[in-house]
Every structure is written in C-alpha cells, then in structure tokens.
Structure 1
Amino acid sequence: MDKVNVTEKFKLFNEHWSPKIVGEVNDAHIKLAKLKGEFEWHYHEKEDEMFFVIKGRLLLRLRDKDIWLEEGEFFIVPRGVEHLPIAKEEVHVLFVEPKTTLNTGTEITERTVTDLPTL
C-alpha cells in the first residue's frame, strides 16, 4: 500500500493515447493517459467511461453536443454513447473504468491497447 503521485506518474511516459494503469479499485482500473490530437469515434457497450482532466483542456464530442473539460473537471460518458475525444494541446487525463474497458470501445483498431502497462 503506497500513495500515488499522479504528477510524478505522468513524467514517466510521453506517448499519446496509450493508457497506463496506476491503481485498482475493486473491479476498476485507475488509468492515466496523455492525449493530443483527435482520437476516433467509439462507444463502450457495457462500460461507462470517466474522463478527469488533470492538466490541459479536453473536448469530448458527442453526437448531440460538445463538452469542454477544464483542469479539475470530469465527465462520465454513459455506456452506449458515442464519443470523440479531441485535445488541441496535450492533455493529462485520469480514467476510472472497469478492467474490461478497451480504449477503442467495441471496435478493434490500430489504436486499441490490450496489454496495459502498470506504472
């Protein structure tokens, strides 16, 4: 049982759109990711997905509206809702989601990360 310093963990990697596990709570992973640019439209059939912005500003585009997240804000995308994360500048995000959640949702693409490293 050790405390986790999120700021220090973000210093350990540079790649974008590649989540890292930094903890577990029951059946959920706590993940960190650096985002930059546009991801891809996707949805999660069985899992909700929480985006918590630690640093920067993130646009979550939904089919019916856009949501801007500032530092210290989070949004939970309900299961089944298509979304497109966009980061014009680098954004540091903390995710809390079930261990079964794939970053690309129901689609397997070249951006799908299946073997998440633990920091």
Structure 2
Amino acid sequence: MSTSIVPVNLADKLSLFDELWSQKKVAVLNDYEVKLAKLKGEFVWHAHEDTDELFLVISRRLTIQLRHADVLLEPGELFVVPRGVEHCPVAHEETAILLLEPAGTLNTGSTGGPMTKAAEILT
C-alpha cells in the first residue's frame, strides 16, 4: 500500500464490499494492518499464538466467545484478545468491525480450514 495524505473514510470503504468474514486491508501502521470486515453468524474457534488481536465494533454488536466468558461489544467499543487465547467471534446480525493486527496474520490463526482467507487490499 502506498503512503497517502487522504484520510480513510470507514463508511465509504465498508460500502465497497458485501462479503462476510473477509478481511479488507485499508491501511498499514508500521508492521500492522488495519482491516475492515463484515460479520454475520459464528466464526471458528481459533487462537493467534504470536500476537494479540484488536476488535473495534463500528456497527451493530459483536460477541467474542472465550472459553471462560463472553465479551459483548457495542458500537465504538473495542476488545483486545490476548495472544494465545482461544476465541470465537459471533454476530447475530450483520456487524461491521475494524481489526488491528500484525501484517500477515491469518484470520483463523493456527486452526486453518475452509474459513481461512488472507486479507485483501481494498482501494
């Protein structure tokens, strides 16, 4: 991604795609990627052994299931899943989120499977 002096409008970027559970890279911050995604339903249980993962809810609600508790996020709220902690995001209605994690982090961590997708650059 090139350096730009144009701000990223999250609503505009979210309007460019409809695919669920597909991360779209909208910016790079040092060695981190800023990604948007739309979620609905339940993802897969997974962990990221080497990195924390930040979830920021833009619209609707997101539940992040942990093995010992659930974390409910409302719009404007964020939660950092610590590295190595198994989690499963769940959205009962279509929810827009922003993710912040190191470049190259797979969405399913070490779990793999059919839901594994690399982030796509959204221009």
Unpaired stretches in structure 1, ≥5 consecutive residues: none
- Quick one: distance in 2 between partners of 1:15 and 1:46? 27
TM-score (norm 1): 0.97
What is the deviation of 1:112? 0.6
Runs of 4+ residues deviating >2 angstroms? 114-119
For 2:120 and 2:82, locate their aligned partners in 1 and report how far apart those are by CA, in whole Å: 22
Question: Matched residue pairs, number?
Answer: 119
Partner secondary structure for residue 120 of structure 2:
coil
Helix, strand or coil at the partner of 1:47: coil
Matched residues in 1 for 2:116 and 2:7: separation?
29
Taking only aligned residues, the RMSD between alpha carbons, in angstroms, comes to 0.9
Identify the match of residue 6 of structure 1 among 3, 10, 22: 10
* Contact in 1 for aligned 2:24/2:119 (Cα 8 Å): no
CA-to-aligned-CA distance 1:15-35 (integer Å, 9 cap, x gap): 100000000000000000000
**Which stretches in structure 2 are left out of the alignment for 5+ residues?**
none
Cα deviation code 1:3-48 (max 9, x no counterpart): 1000010000001000000000000000000000000100001011
Deviations 1:46-99 (A, max 9, x none): 011000000010000000000000000000000000001000000000001000
Separation in 2, partners of 1:8, 1:118: 11
Give the fraction of aligned pairs with identical amino acids, expressed as a percent: 50
Question: What residue number does 1:60 align with?
Answer: 64
| Corresponding position: 1:71 with 2:75 | yes
Q: Which residue of 2 aligns with 1:41?
A: 45
Return the TM-score normalized by structure 2. Answer: 0.94
Look up the match of 1:116.
120
Q: Tell me, in whole angstroms, the C-alpha distance in 2 between the residues paired with 1:108 and 1:40.
A: 9
**Deviation at residue 116 of structure 1 after TM alignment:** 2.2
